[in-house]
Amino acid sequence: MCPVDAELRERFQRDGFVVVPDLLAADELERLGAAVDRAVARRREKDRRSLAEKSRYEQSFLQCINLWETDEAVRPLTFHARIGQAAASLLGVDAVRLWHDQALYKEPGGRETDAHQDQAYWPIHETENVSAWIPFAGSTLDGGAMGYVPGSHRFGVRKFVNIFTDPEPYDLVGGPESRGVEPVFVEVPPGSVAFHHALTFHVSKPNKTDRMRRVHTMIFFADGATRGKKGPPHFAVDRAKIPVGEPIRSDVTPIAWPRGEGEFPPPPSDGFRWLR
Q: Which residues bind ligand AKG (CB under 6 A)?
A: 60-61, 104, 106, 113, 118, 131, 133, 202, 204, 215, 217
* Residue from 187, 139, 141 nearest 29 by CA: 139
d(CA 60, CA 73): 26
Tell me which residue has its CB nearest to ligand AKG.
204
CB of 144 to ligand AKG, least distance (A): 6
Q: How far is the CB of 178 from ligand AKG (least distance, A)?
A: 16
Q: Which is nearer to ligand AKG, 90 or 104 (CB)?
A: 104
Report the residue number, 110 or 254, with the smaller CB distance to ligand AKG.
110
Residue 249 Cβ vs ligand AKG, minimum distance, rounded to whole Å: 23
> At a CB cut-off of 8 Å and minimum separation 6, what does 192 contact?
19, 20, 21, 22, 23, 138
CB of 270 to ligand AKG, least distance (A): 26
CA distance 106 to 61: 4
Instruction: Give the integer Cα–Cα distance in Å for 138 and 41.
Output: 20
By beta-carbon proximity to ligand AKG, the closer residue of 85 and 119 is 119
What is the spatial distance between Cα 255 and Cα 95, in angstroms, rounded to a whole number?
Answer: 7
CB of 193 to ligand AKG, least distance (A): 12
Alpha carbon 117 to chain centroid, angstroms: 12
Nearer to ligand AKG, 56 or 249 (CB): 56
Nearer to ligand AKG, 172 or 243 (CB): 172
Pairwise CA distance, residues 112 & 45, whole Å: 24
